[in-house]
Structure 1
Amino acid sequence: MQASTKDSVPFSPASVRLPFPLSPGPTRNKWQFSDGSSEVELRLQLGDQDVQSPRDILVDANEASLAIRVKRIESHITMLETNHLFDKIKPSETIWYIDDGELVVNLKKQDPDLKWPDIAESWESLTAGSMQLLKGTSIYVVGDSTEINQKVARELAIGLGYTPLSTIELLETISKKTIDSWLLAEGYDAVAEAESAVLESLSSHVRAVVATLGGKQGAAGRADKWRHLYAGFTVWLSQTEALDEVSAKEEAHRHIKDGRRAYTTADVVVKLQGWDADHAKSVAQASLSALKQLIRSDKELPGKKSLYIRLGCRGDWPNIKPPGWDPSAEVDVPVTTE
């Protein structure tokens, strides 16, 4: 996954095709991990590996991956391998040695301020590590499917310990009628307007994950209704027919470049190759991974979101205007939506 920039808004595309973080290797009780501020340390018990010399150990460290193998006469035994370290390291400064039957590997972090919950990026490490990055900022899940938005938002809320909220549930509770009957009686504009009012009431909330209505029935599908969505980090769940991660990323960047869809103002996009409710946690994991990259690219973003809320969610994101700015004095530029 790579982060890129759209105007002054960082934008991170992600794919839900996620590998297992560690494969294969010893069980967790055979290795220990610790974070020492500027570096992380990994200790692996060599046990019955019968290492005769340090030259029997192969430690292959790259910026975001790590592989540890033991030489054998005609093969290598993999002790640990991951293509997704929790964050980037400085591979040239990797140090390893053998200490009392253990292999000790020290990895120098590129970002010493980021606390690593574990050696690899996984659901568990992301949910633990995202707390220090999000700083309580809420998350809004948008996209064409209300069902997908709800399922993934719930997984995110459970993992982060946030409050799960759903605009369809709130709207149906308030109106005492279903969204479908509301659409039939009053049309899409009325429902989108009502959801916009709900989003306004939720914009001051912290530590919440909000699932929004999907498609043209919702406020998020309209470029002129994003004023209060900017109060949190927005994750766009976008279904794709791309056959690989590279193509999915290229598709995401094309959508951002043409700017024709309201969703393209989202902070991050996660491309879904099909949908299965049983995989909602995998989509949530990809969402957190993309958000981690986004915030690492600009650590001031959570504070900037907080300032945006305190100034009244005036619609001036990401170029926040000084106090007293009057949004009604600005000339509206029409934006085409699909």
Structure 2
Amino acid sequence: MAGKQAILIAGPTASGKSGLAVELAERHDGVVVNADSMQVYDGLSILTARPEADALARVPHRLYGHVAPDRIYSVGAWIRDVAPVLEEIRAAGKLPILCGGTGLYFKALLGLLDDLPEVPPKIRERWRNRLAEEGAPALHALLARSDPSAAQRIDPADGQRIVRALEVGEAAGQPLSALQTGRRPGLLEPAACVKLVTAPERSVLRQTIAERFAQMMAAGALEEVAAFRTIPGAMDGSAAKAIGVAELSAVLDGTMARDVAVARAATRTRQYAKRQETWFRHQFDPSWQRLPAPDIVAIETI
């Protein structure tokens, strides 16, 4: 691993990323750094499949559960958080091992995303209030006048993306489309990284997902959601979108049977994993090594 800046491990949920990261960290004196947009949030360690105590005891882990669940968090915020962490790891003479299922985090690391400004909270809040009051189609009409190119690419019903385009445009003082150059400064050189994608066979992944959600329930996922719902603002933030929160909330409210909730959450997880795998296949170039059996193949060959 001499001369390498980092090991990057991407892949769909339940594909063996975390275990592989720990094994490689032990082999190469590494530190595992979270690159998953759900695992950054505090309050849902079970449902977001954050590393368990035994993994945390084996090697250092960073940027897991460091964000309050009511906070709005973005790829830009993660880049700002991860930059000093990478410097600390390098200064200690260790190897960063970035692991997660959020493809945009990896693209940002490698300088393959747009360089967009941070949106002030007041601007963000104003546009989100307008979305709630006026609806997505009305804001899409505004976007069509101020940034026709961006509006053409965004569905009129996609309120989240419409608001993002409007708030970034206001913060930057120019249209979002003018900022989309794909040239955000990267923190790592692509050629200086080992880049891996965990890619088990779909039938294997489906079985793993079913087994893992059952394990989550046995580990106290229902109780975790009950506690999460008591955190002020948590159910209104992005963390509440974690798969299983809505289903288990329905169980707690008495509107859904436990077995139905488990089945629905497992189905949603399979659908999400399929979308992730498709994204990685289309967005990552051939320099990313695909690993159908990461627990065996990667450890023997890296």
Q: TM-score range by the shorter chain?
A: 0.3 to 0.5
Rg comparison, structure with higher value: 1
Structure in which a larger fraction of residues adopt helix: 2
